[in-house]
Amino acid sequence: MTPATTTKTALLHLSGVSKGFPGVQALDDVRLELRHGEVLAVVGENGAGKSTLMKLLAGIYTPDAGTFRLNGEEFSIEGPRHAQELGIAIIHQEFNLMPDLTVAQNIFIGREPRSGGVFLDDRALNRSAQELFDRLGLTIDPAERVEHLTVARQQMVEIAKALSFNAKVLIMDEPTAALNDAEVEVLFELIQRFRTPDTGVIYISHRMDELARISDRITVLRDGRYIDTLETATSTVGEVISLMVGRTITGEQRPGQVQRSPDVVLSVAGLSTKKLLKNVGFELHRGEILGFAGLMGAGRTELARAIVGADPIESGRITVDGREVQIGNPAEAARLGIGYLSEDRKRLGVVLEQDVATNIVLSTLPAFTSKVGFMRDGAIIRTARDFIGRLRIKTPSANQLVKNLSGGNQQKVVIAKWLAKDCDILIFDEPTRGIDVGAKDEIYALLEELARQGKSIIMISSELPEVLRMSHRIAVMCEGRLNAVLDNAEATQEIVMDYATRFSAEGTVS
């Protein structure tokens, strides 16, 4: 892992880059240097300007100011196509896939193989995609339509697409946010293989542990400004974090032995769905954080959706506070005090075209109706501002459209929505996806506070350390089955992974 630090001219060099949006100066005189053959991590809090900087490089936005140099030569980017031609490939933070097209069609959009110059050759297309996946060690059906893929698999498609360009500069904007450890390994393997003396990788992530493993240097942004660049080898996580947030963050700790309440607030028995789930049963106690671990496609999301009535169940019993219930849709679940935060932020979480305040109160709107039936907008704004402050959501105002927020701040908006609702049972599916380290800690604290108040939380997460840090108990799923429910004290990464990979004897994913 010795980067070619001696090279005089950097592979990519940016200086004096600025970009403003109405009400926000997203980037202010930022510089960045990517050397040949290196992986440069770019870190910063939510809304620091990381994605904006990358979108400039991808030709999506045009900068207000700044010079770009590629191998010492100044250039400007006219658009996405031009960026591709220059050898810059990007994996976007928010997916940019065409859900109605197949995986292979998505990957090769704009570069379709044709037979005789006229007709599309989908067989060749699928073959190329298959070759690509084989090379990358992925098992995805190239002919599957993207809308049928889980978020994690969509992420893999994005990654494969970017790698298929034979680019010189590969930009990855939080590629692991939706992946779990096994898939992260695959990705790192890919990055190492991609890296040659001619290429370089810009890697954005909020997972600090990854930085040491993959990056050579780390550039820190804060509030749209360049702060510093560190050599990974000679710096500590604590240093990086304090540069990012301007203060220090206390280390992680696991919950101690908690006195579990005997009250069962939610009990699930024999739950099966047509697609995946097989005979899942568990109990959730009052004041408990129950973590759900598992590999991609283990069925955790499907279980959550089945419980809140978003998907039909085939058999099984759900009991809330001792009463058996039939939950036909999420509205009924909400009435029973069960809230579900989806892992698919863009599609199922936020209402992108509405403002922050509207999103925060979306689940609680009826409570903001006055006696005569009018909405109490003052109260809505007050509540929204309260959460904007508590979760430190970076937005110029409560009236900003959510689509103009950074990814992490959008996630905070979704969390705020469910905190506002005051549900007794919260099912959080990948709640910290894309959230910066500082904010993560605050969210952990919030969840713990909720649990102390007697709320019960199911926390689905692909970040095993997070599950271990937060959960009183840990449920491990595999292939739609619930393989184990462990006490925090007895759980280690190894034990959890062991249960998560105990595939059924037949080894079939029906």
Partner 1 sequence: MRSRLRGQIQQLLAFASLIAIVVFFSVANDRFLTWANVTGILLAATVTGLLALGTTFVIITGGIDLSIGTGMTLSAVMTGVFLTYLGLPLWLGVILAILFGGLLGLINGVNVAVLKIPPFIATLAMMLVAAGLSLVISGTAPIYFKETPDFVRLATGSLIPGIRFPNGVLIFIIVAIIAGVVLKKTLLGRYTFSIGSNEEATELSGVNVTKWKIAIYTFAGLFTGLAGVLLASRLSSAQPALGMGYELEAIAAVVIGGTSLQGGKGSIVGTVIGALIMAVLTNGLRIMSIPQEWQSVAVGAVILIAVYLDILRRKNA
**Strand pairing report for 264-272 and 315-320:** antiparallel
CA–CA separation, 143 vs 120, rounded Å? 14
Task: Say which entry of ligand ATP, Mg ion, partner 1, none residue 365 contacts (CB below 5 to 8 A, set by partner kind).
Answer: partner 1
Cβ distance to ligand ATP smaller for residue 223 or 263? 223
- For residue 231, give the 3-state DSSP assignment: strand
Q: By the 8 A CB rule, do 473 and 285 touch?
A: no
Partner from partner 1, Mg ion, ligand ATP, none binding residue 47, C-beta < 5-8 Å depending on class:
ligand ATP
Q: Which of residues 445-484 bind ligand ATP (CB under 6 A)?
A: 462
Question: According to CB under 5 A, which one of 154, 219, 232, 301 is a site residue for Mg ion?
Answer: 301
Per-residue mark of binding to ligand ATP, 315-354 (x: CB under 6 A): ----------------------------x-----------
Phi, psi of 430 (to 5 degrees): 50, 60
**Among residues 92 and 285, whose Cβ is nearest to partner 1?**
92
Q: Which does 298 bind (CB under 5 to 8 A by kind): partner 1, Mg ion, ligand ATP, none?
A: ligand ATP
- Of 77-85, 156-164, 368-376, 406-414, the segment contacting ligand ATP by CB under 6 A is 406-414
Q: Which of the ranges 42-50, 246-254, 372-380, 465-473 carries the binding residues for ligand ATP, by CB under 6 A?
A: 42-50
One-letter identity of residue 360 = I
Rounded least distance, CB 325 to ligand ATP, Å:
22
Among 195, 394, 472, 481, the residue binding ligand ATP under the rule CB under 6 A is: 394
Q: Which of ligand ATP, partner 1, Mg ion, none lies near 335, with the C-beta cut-off 5 to 8 A by kind?
A: partner 1
Q: Is 51 a binder of Mg ion (CB under 5 A)? A: yes
CA distances from 289 to 298, 408, 412, 452 (A): 20, 23, 19, 10
Q: Is 50 in the site for ligand ATP (CB under 6 A)?
A: yes
* CA proximity to 17, closest of 48, 45, 56: 56
Contact 266, 320 (CB under 8 A): yes
**Taking the complex as a whole, how short is the minimal distance between the CB of residue 344 and Mg ion, in angstroms?**
9
Distance CA 219, CA 210 (A): 14
504 binding ligand ATP? (CB under 6 A): no
The conformational region for residue 110 under phi > 0 = left, psi -120 to 50 = alpha, else beta, is: left
Q: How far is the CB of 487 from partner 1 (least distance, A)?
A: 31
Joined tokens for residue 270: 């024999």
- The CA-atom distances, in angstroms, between 247 and each of 239, 365, 438, 445 are 10, 37, 9, 17
Of 250, 469, 233, nearest to 241 (Cα)? 250
- Distance separating alpha carbons of residues 39 and 231, to the nearest angstrom: 11
Q: If binding is defined by CB under 6 A, does position 298 make contact with ligand ATP?
A: yes
User: To the nearest whole angstrom, how small is the minimum distance from the Cβ of residue 306 to partner 1?
Assistant: 13
Binding-site member from 88, 276, 306, 491 for ligand ATP (CB under 6 A): 276
Contact 168, 84 (CB under 8 A): no
Classified as helix, coil or strand, 89 is strand
Contact with ligand ATP (CB under 6 A) among 98, 120, 233, 509:
509
Task: Please give the residues from 79 up to 108 whose contact with Mg ion meets the rule CB under 5 A.
Answer: 93
Residue 22 beta carbon to partner 1: minimum distance, rounded to whole angstroms: 8
Angle between helices 181-194 and 151-163 (to 10 degrees): 0
For the packed helices 237-245 and 437-452, what is the interaxial angle rounded to 10 degrees? 90
Residue 46's binding partner among Mg ion, ligand ATP, partner 1, none (Cβ under 5 to 8 angstroms by kind) is ligand ATP
DSSP string, 406-438: -HHHHHHHHHHHHHHHT-SEEEEESTTTT--HH
* Residue 265 CB, nearest approach to ligand ATP (Å): 22
Site residues (vs partner 1, CB under 8 A): 23, 58, 60, 79-81, 83-84, 92, 95-101, 105, 109-110, 112, 114, 118-120, 143-145, 308, 310, 329-335, 339-340, 342, 347-354, 358, 362-363, 365-366, 369, 373-375, 377, 397, 399-400, 417, 421
Q: Which is nearer to partner 1, 126 or 488 (CB)?
A: 126
DSSP letter string, 55-91: HHHTTSS--SEEEEEETTEEE---SHHHHHHTTEEEE
Give every CB contact of residue 55 below 8 A, 6+ residues apart in sequence.
61
Kindly state whether residue 424 participates in binding ligand ATP, applying the rule CB under 6 A.
no
> For residues 158 and 441, which CB has a smaller minimum distance to partner 1 in the complex?
158
DSSP symbol at 247: S
Size of the chain in residues: 510
- Cβ-proximal residue to ligand ATP, closest one: 408
Binding site for Mg ion (CB under 5 A): 51, 93, 301, 343, 406-407
Q: Which residues bind ligand ATP (CB under 6 A)?
A: 21, 24, 26, 44, 46-52, 93, 150-152, 275-276, 294, 296-302, 343, 394, 404-409, 434, 436, 462, 509
